[in-house]
Chains A and B, each alone.
Chain A
């Protein structure tokens, strides 16, 4: 990739190009260059998972990924979870503005202060997309890299299990 052309990749299905140093953190590119502030910074060293995003199907901490590493990749953030207008109309099971996973979090009480929520949702969505077995252990393992200080994880696990039972919960990459 030549420096003048910047880095090109996809964010939530849309092509983007950023003209920034290659070692700039994906987290800063998302938050500051692309104004997608849904992805949060909790520790900046890959411990808390608040900045979890999905890159080519895998959950990563955006604070540990330099933007040069996502050249040509498919990046998914919390902003891309909720269906677009067209998708909503096409899915009568979920007429609301939220995805099945988001709706389950809302109903079960999986979000309290909300700061870990975007990262938690991305970790859970990647787990569901991969067809993970929604057992208690399976879900705990899937979100083990995402710290939450409010919920004791109880209702987060409940929400993910609830979402797994619902149709159209897995999302296409």
Chain B
């Protein structure tokens, strides 16, 4: 087969296709059009797998087929010309056999012990795909099975644990008039970006390697390359190409793929393409952490929230990855957005012999807030009170203290998002209707409607002292060509980075948005503005870029004596380029003690309320989510269309999490590791989504923005389950709320 057959004939690209980065006329509801939108819409945007590197080889990963085993040897079957290909194992790694992350426990290639199914054990590269397939088939792993651990409650290996709280929980619980207890379970969830993971490594003349790939965090990849390949800062270059979605799934996992591709490229001496197919991506890459949350809520006789006692166990999978920080965020959000004087959160993340879990939009908070909101809705039921009214009484207000002792001094919008969502959805009116329908329902009823509500908060930026440790840097440069360039490693992954930064900078400098460009995300060009995670880009990096813009403006204006807008072209022509970098400085008055877990866990919080309406088929228990109203406080809206897009997309991911997205495991292997069996919502499954943006600015950043990416993901699943309860009268304690679970709760076989 000729894999590189040449076509003949003339197929023209669009004659007038916009140039990369060209700004087209027109507006998106008053805001600028998506910067790279024309390229994406005409098919000219280049994602990693679209790039052509002449002479490139194809790389593949040999993976374990057991959950836990001793690796005795790697055999190459005879009868194949192994000189045609390159095979690498752990022994061929020039640097440390470690994927750089929080702990040094994960090898780039398993050495003596296999700890999970689909663990990388060896690498193969070949000049064409057919040879690669043939070689891959003929690599045999000799192993000796070891006993696996799959139940997180049985695991003795703890990656991290926390105890957070305030007040005397036992005494408060003993004094409570009503105590509601519950155990909740949530499973794995796949990020399911539509572009699979992809990396191409190109050997460099200086002995290093350049990576072109799909990723959220170029500097994470950079650090991992340096460590595993023993490279200097300069010899490891990472370029982010157009990236087809991330959602956390391209936060830490790309590091290991880049290391694999780089190892092969260095050995082969040619570019090596490491492009995962959907099956490999599903089988091997990180998922949302499953969790078991046990919860006790104490309520006084007059209906006040007096005690919360929470125990969280998260399944980290075989290696630590980001589990300590996922658990930390989950634990800090476990009480929900409610004032309570006596709170205890005890949590641990443990190892099991399953593929490692990692970052996914929400980062631990959706898991614990599902439990928190289930509890609040169940308390409302016990008190025979509207779930909205109960939240009016309990929700945080300015001046309240959180379980870490953080005083919420500003930017608290719990009540506002609640009222906006309740009003837009006509929550009480619909709830009265569904109640009436439920009471009048006979045994012949075939379907039932329900409405449910939930409230959530989401800490903005990195947890605790995270931002201080990151010490991110952003640059803004006036080029000799009179173009202003934004220099950041923060990536465009669909959320709008390429559009909102030119907006912020052009506004700050008073220049047209066309005068501002985004520098290519290349670690040899842009400073480390930190990872594109934690809803931090708009808030934290946005603040840095505004700071750098102000510095640039001041320098130019001092020199020219006129406004930046009037004089920057002339300045550039006379003086050449001028670049100003801004380094992160701690937000005033924000202090956190990483050892005691006391203080300001986040500089501020975003707030969200969702109201869900759905129908349940009473014969099949199939759930049809009809509508979701999500009111989200994002501090300050930079681009309304893109901010709404974040809320809408996050909402549907959460609807999928609540209803259909589930991974089944068999002996530590994901059984539904194909897109035919791991289902996400289609356009027909998707509800009508109404995004309401609320603005309660944060004063710690000049533009007031708090971030929007994760907030909508936290709030929807418990609202779905509350609506199922409203329709059917049963509580589902485990996600997803599948027909099987609903039928079981209804007492039907």
Residues of A within 8 A of B (CB): 11-12, 14-21, 24, 29, 31-45, 47-48, 50, 77-85, 88, 96-98, 102-103, 105-109, 111-118, 121, 136, 139-141, 143-157
Contacts and interface: CB of A to CB of B under 8 A. Distances in A.
Interface string B637-658: 0000110110011111100000
A116 B683 CA distance: 13
B11 A149 contact: no
Contacts of A144: 682-684
B71 interface: no
B11 A97 contact: no
Given A109-B645, A152-B686, 10 more contacts: A21-B2, A97-B38, A98-B41, A102-B41, A106-B34, A113-B194, A115-B195, A150-B494, A153-B652, A157-B683
A31 B41 CA distance: 16
Contacts of B45: 114
Given A16-B7, A82-B42, A147-B680, A96 B641 contact: no
Contacts of B192: 149
Interface string B314-335: 0000000000000000000000
Interface string B685-709: 0101101000000000000000000
A79 B43 contact: yes
Contact of A106 (B10, B37, B50, B651): B37
A109 B34 contact: yes
B243 interface: yes
Nearest to A121: B41
A109 B16 contact: no
B15 A85 contact: yes
Contacts of A33: 4-7
A41 B279 CA distance: 12
B548 interface: no
Interface stretch (B21-29, B376-384, B524-532, B718-726): B21-29
Nearest to A154: B648
Interface residues of B, number: 80
Given A16-B9, A146-B683, A38 B34 contact: no
Contacts of B244: 40, 113-116
Nearest to A39: B43
B28 A106 contact: yes
B278 A114 contact: no
B107 interface: no
Interface string B170-197: 0000000000000000000001111110
Contacts of A41: 49
Contact of B11 (A12, A82, A140, A143): A12
A29 to B, nearest CB: 7
Contacts of A81: 14, 41-42
B588 interface: no
B14 A82 contact: yes
Nearest to B647: A152
16 contacts: A15-B9, A17-B9, A24-B1, A43-B277, A84-B14, A96-B24, A105-B37, A107-B33, A113-B494, A114-B242, A117-B41, A141-B683, A144-B684, A154-B686, A155-B644, A157-B683
B27 A107 contact: yes
Q: Which of B8, B37, B277 has the most CB of A within 10 A?
A: B37
Q: Which 4 A-B pairs have the closest CB atoms?
A: A38-B43, A115-B244, A113-B494, A114-B40
A88 B495 contact: no
B129 to A, nearest CB: 10
Contact of A109 (B28, B36, B493): B28
A36 B12 CA distance: 9
Contacts of B195: 40, 42, 113, 115
B674 interface: yes
Contacts of B645: 109, 112, 150-151, 154-155
Contacts of A103: 26
B205 interface: no
B14 A112 contact: no
Nearest to B15: A85
B47 interface: yes
Q: Which of B16, B29, B652, B653 has the most CB of A within 10 A?
A: B16
Nearest to A106: B37
B562 interface: no
Contacts of B50: 31, 37
